[in-house]
């Protein structure tokens, strides 16, 4: 099943690249400029006074970039828009190159990169403003007093060639950005279609299982009714009809328990710690001791609260029905996922249920519906995660259930 | 006549047992297909349920066919899909039945006589031909036996209708 979240494969928000890429590029740019200034100072192309000035500008730039990155990690977005970030880059490079010799320094083309990448990060109007600003700032470089010799005194017409390159590459990048945007939109449409198809497939599989489930008791009832009609029925026939009727009822109940309102599935900001704590506190059964040991601090994620709580209750209920005395719930995380581990010391899950984990009506329990684990697996897969269940290693009893949720659902505040 | 039933629903097995007993047919019942394959008897007919706990009955068709090559194998299922039917027939099933089903139809199907099956279906008012005949007779009745008029209402050619009616009259 396609994961319902994490669909932003290219980090495209509204078809534009993410601010984090800009922040990382800025680190690279500062490093390159610092390296160049150092080389020029060593080869005595620039005076130590110029070198100190450049390093001072770059220091300010890295300081600001550090703040940006911090803010990005905390809030998921930089404190200023992509446009102002690029504008800041333009100012930093302009000042740095002014001290490094202006257009006499052949590496000043780094400045051109800023308006060239702009269409990928900001909208068309903003990128035009950046392009014109860059052109203006290139002009300023002519008056850089450093590095000039008597043979070459830069004039405004020396910039004509570079302007042509700048405008041509800008147009090319704008076109590329447009293509990227279109691809992003198409991708999102495809994901939407896939979700619909997946929904239909799940519905098909479910109704097939439901037919299987109802077919047999109906067949029993039909044969018994025929026997009654022909006057051959005994007390046993009545019992068989009653049993089959209960089977149908059970299947119907499990189908009804799957019904959800739209508002139940709505994602809301939920504390994983709180939801687990509350569920364990509220789950009161005699002879069952539930421990919750979170290994991470309070974590907020976007979850459909009601089905998620129901799923946890279902899994603990399974442990209780397997005669467990103790259930230990832990909350942990790795690089990409949050992991809720539910361990019990019950009878241990049946091998046949494990083989067909994730198919509806898969149960060994007499009064079981076989819907709980199916629902759990479907819900977790929807949340970009998974459900894995195995028998506890090293002992004859006990089951371990791992509920895995994608970290992309984390809600930072 | 010896019949092997592989079915994991206890209620359904019990009622089928009673029905086969009533018809004086020897029935061997198993809930696990692997155990059923250990049976050492000459079986004439096999009834195999599709959903057998952790197993899919269809996967065991080749094993049953290998052990009892002459036996007629019928797959019973709660949900008939085209894919699973094709799968079952490809693996060697002789017929495919969808639950719920009457005992006479089940018996006729495992015996495999087409005419018998048709007969049972007609008795159960399930056959298309019977429905068609009833509708034709109903329309004819409304038209006071006027064949041309009835053919017009039914959207048939007069001669086609006459041919159909000829088939209905006993020889």
Mean pLDDT within A77-101 = 89
Residue with tokens 């046949």: A352
pLDDT digit string, tens, across residues A4-50:
444 444 444 445 777 888 899 999 999 999 998 899 889 888 888 88
For residue A413, pLDDT over 70 is answered with no
So what's the ipTM on this one? 0.71
Would you tell me which residues 185-224 of chain A have a C-beta closer than 8 angstroms to some C-beta of chain B? 207-209, 211-224
Nearest CB among A207, A212, A237 relative to B51 is that of: A212
Q: CB–CB of B99 and A218 under 8 A? A: yes
- CB A39, CB A99: distance < 8 Å: no
Q: Say what the pLDDT of residue A12 is.
A: 46
- As beta bridge partners, residue A391 has A399
Asked whether the predicted pLDDT for residue A407 surpasses 50, the reply is: yes
Topology at the third CATH level for domain B2-123:
Rossmann fold (3.40.50)
pLDDT tens-digit readout, A303-317: 887 778 888 888 888
Kindly report the average pLDDT of chain B as a whole number: 86
pLDDT category at A143 given cuts 50, 70, 90 is confident
- What mean pLDDT do residues A313-324 have? 84
The DSSP 8-state label assigned to residue A333 in this structure reads E
Share of chain A above pLDDT 70, in %: 89
The mean pLDDT of A104-133, rounded to a whole number, is 88
Q: Which of residues 41-60 of B touch A (CB under 8 A)?
A: 49-51, 53-54
Better pLDDT: A263 or B6? B6
CB distance B54–A355 less than 8 Å?
Answer: yes
Q: In chain A, where are the structural domains located?
A: 7-154, 261-413
Q: Which of B59, B99, B124 to mutate to test the interface with A (most CBs of A within 10 A)?
A: B99
Kindly indicate the confidence band of residue A152, based on its pLDDT and cuts at 50, 70 and 90: low
Please tell me the predicted confidence (pLDDT) of residue A11.
42
Confidence of residue A257 (pLDDT cuts 50, 70, 90): low
Please indicate whether, in this complex, the C-beta atoms of A226 and B102 are within 8 angstroms of each other.
Answer: yes
**Which residues in B lie closer than 8 A to residue A212 (C-beta atoms)?**
50-51, 77-79
- Tokens 């447009």, residue? A178
pLDDT at A366 (0 to 100): 62
Calculate how close chain B gets to A216, using CA atoms only, in Å.
6
pLDDT of residue A89: 92
Does B150 score more than 80 pLDDT? yes
State whether residue B12 sits within 8 Å of chain A by CB: yes
Find out if CATH 1.10.3470 is the number for domain B128-168. no
Half-sphere exposure of B120 (CA within 13 A, CB side): 16
User: For residues A275 and A301, is the Cβ–Cβ distance under 8 A?
Assistant: no
Rounded to whole angstroms, how far apart are CA atoms B12 and A215? 10
Choice between A161 and A10, residue whose per-residue pLDDT is larger: A161
pLDDT, averaged across chain A: 82
Contacts of B160 (CB under 8 A, 6+ apart): B151
What are the structural domain ranges in chain B? Answer: 2-123, 128-168
Contact A130, A90 (CB under 8 A): yes
Q: What is the pLDDT of residues A44-81, one digit of tens each?
A: 888 888 899 999 999 999 999 999 999 888 877 788 88
Range from A71-85, B2-16, B121-135 carrying the lowest mean pLDDT? B121-135
**Candidate from B12, B18, B51 with C-beta closest to A219:** B12
State the pLDDT confidence band at B17, using cuts at 50, 70 and 90: very high
- The gap between the terminal CA atoms of chain B, to the nearest Å, is 35
pLDDT tens, position by position, B94-106: 888 888 888 988 9
Query: For residue A227, which residues of chain B lie inside 8 Å, CB to CB?
Result: 15, 18-19
Nearest-Cα distance to chain A for B83, in Å, is 12
Question: How many C-beta atoms surround the C-beta of residue A153 within 10 A?
Answer: 10
Q: Which residues of A touch B49 (CB under 8 A)?
A: 216
Lowest mean pLDDT among A198-202, A307-311, B58-62: A198-202
Interface-testing mutation among A216, A222, A350, with chain B (most B C-beta atoms within 10 A): A216
Q: If one looks up domain A261-413 in CATH, what number appears?
A: 3.30.565.10
Q: In chain B, which residue's Cα lies nearest the Cα of A209?
A: B79
Name the pLDDT band for A2 (thresholds 50, 70, 90). very low
- Give A225's pLDDT tier (boundaries 50, 70, 90): very high
Q: Which of A207, A212, A215 to mutate to test the interface with B (most CBs of B within 10 A)?
A: A215
């Amino acid at each position: 099943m396609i994961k319902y979240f994490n669909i932003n494969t290219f980090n495209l928000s509204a078809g534009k690249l993410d601010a984090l890429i800009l922040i990382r590029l800025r680190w690279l740019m500062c490093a390159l400029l610092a390296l160049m200034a150092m080389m020029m100072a060593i080869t005595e192309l620039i005076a130590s006074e110029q070198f100190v000035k450049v390093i001072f500008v770059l220091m300010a730039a890295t300081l600001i970039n550090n703040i940006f990155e911090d803010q990005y990690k905390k809030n998921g977005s930089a404190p200023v828009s992509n446009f102002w970030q690029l504008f800041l880059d333009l100012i930093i490079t302009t000042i740095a190159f002014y001290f490094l010799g202006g257009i006499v320094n052949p590496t000043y083309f780094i400045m051109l990169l800023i308006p060239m990448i702009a269409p990928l990060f900001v909208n068309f109007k903003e990128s035009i403003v950046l392009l014109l600003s860059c052109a203006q700032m290139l002009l300023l470089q002519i008056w850089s007093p450093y590095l000039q010799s008597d043979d070459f005194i830069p004039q405004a017409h020396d910039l004509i060639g570079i302007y042509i390159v700048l405008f041509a590459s800008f147009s090319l990048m704008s076109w590329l950005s447009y293509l990227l945007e279109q691809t992003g939109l198409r991708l999102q449409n495809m994901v939407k279609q896939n979700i619909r198809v997946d929904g239909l497939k799940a519905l098909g599989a479910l109704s097939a299982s439901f037919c299987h489930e109802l077919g047999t008791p109906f067949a029993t009832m039909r044969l018994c009714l025929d026997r009654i009609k022909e006057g051959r029925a005994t007390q046993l026939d009545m019992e068989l009809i009653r049993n089959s009727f209960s089977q149908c009822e059970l299947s119907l109940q499990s189908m009804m328990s799957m019904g959800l309102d739209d508002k139940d599935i709505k994602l809301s900001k939920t504390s994983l710690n709180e939801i687990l704590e509350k569920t364990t506190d509220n789950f009161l059964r005699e002879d069952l001791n539930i421990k919750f040991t979170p290994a991470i601090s309070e974590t907020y994620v976007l979850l459909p609260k009601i089905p998620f709580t129901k799923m946890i209750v279902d899994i603990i209920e399974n442990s209780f029905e397997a005669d467990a005395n103790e259930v230990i719930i832990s909350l942990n995380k790795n690089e990409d996922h949050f992991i809720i581990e539910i361990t019990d010391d019950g009878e241990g899950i049946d091998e046949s249920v494990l083989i067909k984990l994730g198919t509806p009506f898969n149960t060994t329990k007499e009064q079981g519906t076989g819907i709980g684990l199916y629902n759990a697996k479907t819900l977790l897969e929807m949340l970009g995660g998974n459900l894995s269940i195995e028998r506890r290693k090293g002992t004859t009893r006990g089951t371990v259930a791992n509920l895995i949720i994608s970290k992309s659902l984390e809600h930072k505040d | 006549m010896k019949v092997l039933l592989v079915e994991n629903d206890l209620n359904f097995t019990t009622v089928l047992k009673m029905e086969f007993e009533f018809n004086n047919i020897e029935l061997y019942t198993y809930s696990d297909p692997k155990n059923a394959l250990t049976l050492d008897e000459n079986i004439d007919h096999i009834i195999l349920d599709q959903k057998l706990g952790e197993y899919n009955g269809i996967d065991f068709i080749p094993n049953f066919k290998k052990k009892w090559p002459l036996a007629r194998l019928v797959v019973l299922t709660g949900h008939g899909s085209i894919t699973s039917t094709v799968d079952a027939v490809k693996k060697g099933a002789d017929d495919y039945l969808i639950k719920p089903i009457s005992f006479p139809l089940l018996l006729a199907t495992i015996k495999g006589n087409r005419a018998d099956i048709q007969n049972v279906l007609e008795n159960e008012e399930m056959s298309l031909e019977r429905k068609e005949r009833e509708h034709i007779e109903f329309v004819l009745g409304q038209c006071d036996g006027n064949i041309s008029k009835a053919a017009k209402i039914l959207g048939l050619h007069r001669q086609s209708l006459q041919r159909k009616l000829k088939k209905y009259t006993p020889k």
